[in-house]
A and B are shown apart, each in its own frame.
Chain A
Amino acid sequence: MLGDLKTIPLDWYILLSSILFCIGVMGVLFRRNAIIIFMSIELMLNAVNLLLVAFSAYHNDAKGQVFVFFTMAVAAAEIAVGLAILVVVYRNTKSTDIDVLNRLKG
């Protein structure tokens, strides 16, 4: 099965990760719940990871996959801090609606 991997063109992987990335962008614009927006950001990160792995596999270079490893580490750290901020925001405003947080408008 691994032998005929070359039958999948690289363009298909680019197409798939573009679609996933755009769904993530749509999620950020579409929803007001901050948790769903975080999840959409995760979706975008995963789309980019998929692209990196595809290029790495097709170029036969392991560096791209190591880069994905670092992306996952940064994403995990980001989510830990982001969710802590969200919990603090909820404690202060009693909602996770980002449209409530418009006090920075000045």
Chain B
Amino acid sequence: MTVYLFIILGVFAILSALMVVFTKNPIHSILYLVLTFFAIAGEYVLLNAQFLAIVNIIVYAGAIMVLFLFVVMLLNLNKETEPHKSILRQLIAVIAAGILLIVLVGSLKGADTMTIKPFAQNTGYIENLGQVLFKDFLLPFEVSAILFLAAMVGAVMLGKKDIK
């Protein structure tokens, strides 16, 4: 049952990721990317990482994609204004990505299949993650707050009308 769910979600994620690249309209690309993120969140649930699945939906599909949608609508981009690469360069892009995939998958071939420990049910639970986050990773957590502050100041400064 889980295997079928994995395959369905994986195929769904791959197809919608391909549609992100190949659709002409930027708004449709964004909506397909939201679908991809939902599929990836489903994979997180299959891995018993419920907290990250919810955070993935809230942060990526909720916040970041809405930001993208706002920018696309603000700049009034649509199918007509979409720039195109020449067929040759598109072909080169596909071939380059395909070769990279072959290299990545080929490097997998010699690897041993991992022996799996008995699965504890609570690795991805929020209480467990909170223990690790606020004990072992407290300093990075605080530093990421400074990062957010810097990003916020930077975005506001760039967005100002008259930078002199």
A residues within 8 Å of B by Cβ?
Answer: 1-2, 4-16, 18-27, 29-33, 35-36, 38-40, 42-43, 46, 49-50, 53-54, 56-63, 65-66, 68-70, 72-81, 83-88, 90, 95-97, 99
Between-chain CB contacts (< 8 Å), 9 pairs? A2-B48, A16-B43, A19-B14, A29-B92, A29-B96, A53-B49, A76-B148, A87-B74, A87-B159
Q: Within the complex, what minimum Cβ distance (angstroms) separates A64 from chain B?
A: 9
**CB < 8 Å A-B pair total:** 236
| A20-B14, A81-B158 given; 15 more Cβ-contact pairs under 8 Å | A12-B10, A13-B43, A22-B100, A27-B20, A31-B85, A46-B60, A65-B52, A65-B129, A70-B137, A73-B144, A74-B147, A76-B151, A77-B147, A87-B158, A88-B158
Q: How far is the CA of A39 from the CA of B132 in the complex (A)?
A: 30
A65-B75 contact in complex given A42-B33, A43-B36, C-beta closer than 8 Å: no
Q: Is the CB of A1 within 8 A of B26?
A: no
Q: How far is the CA of A61 from the CA of B40 in the complex (A)?
A: 20
When distances are taken between beta carbons in the complex, the residues of chain B under 8 Å from A42 are 33, 60, 64
**Please, how many residues of chain B have a CB less than 8 angstroms from a CB on the other chain?**
85
Q: Which of A72, A78, A86, A97 has the most CB of B within 10 A?
A: A72
Q: Is the CB of A57 within 8 A of B71?
A: no
When distances are taken between beta carbons in the complex, the residues of chain B under 8 Å from A87 are 71, 74-75, 158-159
Partner of B101, one of A8, A18, A59, A81: A18
A66-B85 contact in complex given A5-B47, A16-B14, C-beta closer than 8 Å: no
Partner of B77, one of A1, A18, A96: A96
When distances are taken between beta carbons in the complex, the residues of chain B under 8 Å from A72 are 55-56, 59-60
When distances are taken between beta carbons in the complex, the residues of chain B under 8 Å from A62 are 123-124, 128-129, 131-132
Q: Is the CB of A16 within 8 A of B10?
A: yes
Q: Tell whether B136 is near chain A: CB-to-CB under 8 Å.
A: yes
Q: Is the CB of A39 within 8 A of B68?
A: yes
When distances are taken between beta carbons in the complex, the residues of chain A under 8 Å from B63 are 76
When distances are taken between beta carbons in the complex, the residues of chain A under 8 Å from B77 are 33, 35, 96
Q: How far is the CA of A43 from the CA of B18 in the complex (A)?
A: 11
Q: How far is the CA of A33 from the CA of B100 in the complex (A)?
A: 22
Q: Is the CB of A57 within 8 A of B75?
A: no
Q: Is the CB of B93 within 8 A of A46?
A: no
